């Protein structure tokens, strides 16, 4: 994405949400903006409806766990089908209180993506019409994609770790 297009997106956000942008950077050919969590749905709605941006396709909504900082990131990837521009927005939530507003009011497709993020990371999307586990059993009490859980059963005796350089 060209620098002029990046500046246009930043100015569109700042015209209504001054001071909400924490950081904006180009990461591996993907323009990424980190914003404060309180206004994320309103910012995305503004980018959806604004005539200069029209990010009207939600390609991805997922979680990322950073256990060292005790944070969970919710990452949203948007696409403008007319100009073929892509944008990544991120918000940071405390892993102890991972709560944000639902994006289903803007994108109906966010429904299953939010359910998956809840199922694997424990993020609560306030206002979601049916926030329940989508792939794991309802009785599960952990969120398996958080890095606080080991990748494999530590009590296994049927393999030799020396073969794996451990």
What whole-number percentage of the chain has pLDDT above 90? Answer: 83
Pairing of strands 124-126, 30-35: unpaired
Sequence spans of domains, the chain: 3-149
Q: What's residue 98's pLDDT?
A: 97
Answer whether 50's CB lies under 8 Å from 8's CB.
no
**Sequence-separated (6 or more) residues with CB below 8 Å from residue 58:** 76, 77, 78, 79, 103, 106, 107, 109, 110, 113
Look at the alpha carbons of 101, 106, 112, 116 in this order and tell me if their dihedral is positive or negative. negative
Q: What's residue 36's pLDDT?
A: 97
Mean pLDDT of 124-129: 98
Is pLDDT at 160 greater than 80 in this prediction?
no
Domain 3-149 maps to which CATH number in 3.30.420.40, 3.40.630.30, 3.30.420.610, 3.30.460.80?
3.30.460.80
Rounded Cα–Cα distance for residues 128 and 86 (Å): 25
Per-residue pLDDT of 31-50, as tens digits, reads 999 999 999 999 999 999 99
Mean pLDDT of 123-130: 98
Per-residue pLDDT of 60-96, as tens digits, reads 999 999 999 999 999 999 999 999 999 999 999 999 9
Is pLDDT at 139 greater than 80 in this prediction?
yes
Q: What's residue 149's pLDDT?
A: 72
Q: What's residue 28's pLDDT?
A: 85
Please report which confidence band the pLDDT of residue 165 belongs to, taking 50, 70 and 90 as the band edges: low
Mean pLDDT of 8-17: 97
């Amino acid at each position: 994405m060209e620098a002029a297009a990046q500046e246009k997106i930043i100015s569109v956000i700042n015209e209504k949400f001054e001071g909400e942008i924490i950081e904006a950077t180009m990461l591996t050919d993907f323009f990424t903006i980190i914003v404060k969590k309180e206004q994320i749905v309103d910012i995305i709605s503004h980018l959806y409806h604004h005539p200069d941006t029209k990010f009207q396709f939600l390609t991805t909504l997922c979680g990322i766990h950073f256990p060292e900082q005790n944070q969970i990131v919710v990452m949203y990837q948007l696409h403008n089908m007319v100009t073929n521009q892509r944008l990544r927005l991120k918000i940071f939530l405390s892993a102890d209180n991972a709560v944000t507003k639902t994006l289903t009011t803007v994108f109906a497709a966010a429904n299953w993506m939010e359910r998956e993020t809840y199922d694997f990371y424990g993020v609560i999307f306030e206002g979601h019409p049916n926030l329940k586990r989508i792939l794991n059993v309802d009785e599960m009490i952990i969120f398996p994609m958080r890095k606080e859980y080991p990748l494999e059963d530590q009590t296994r005796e049927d393999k030799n770790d020396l073969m794996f350089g451990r």
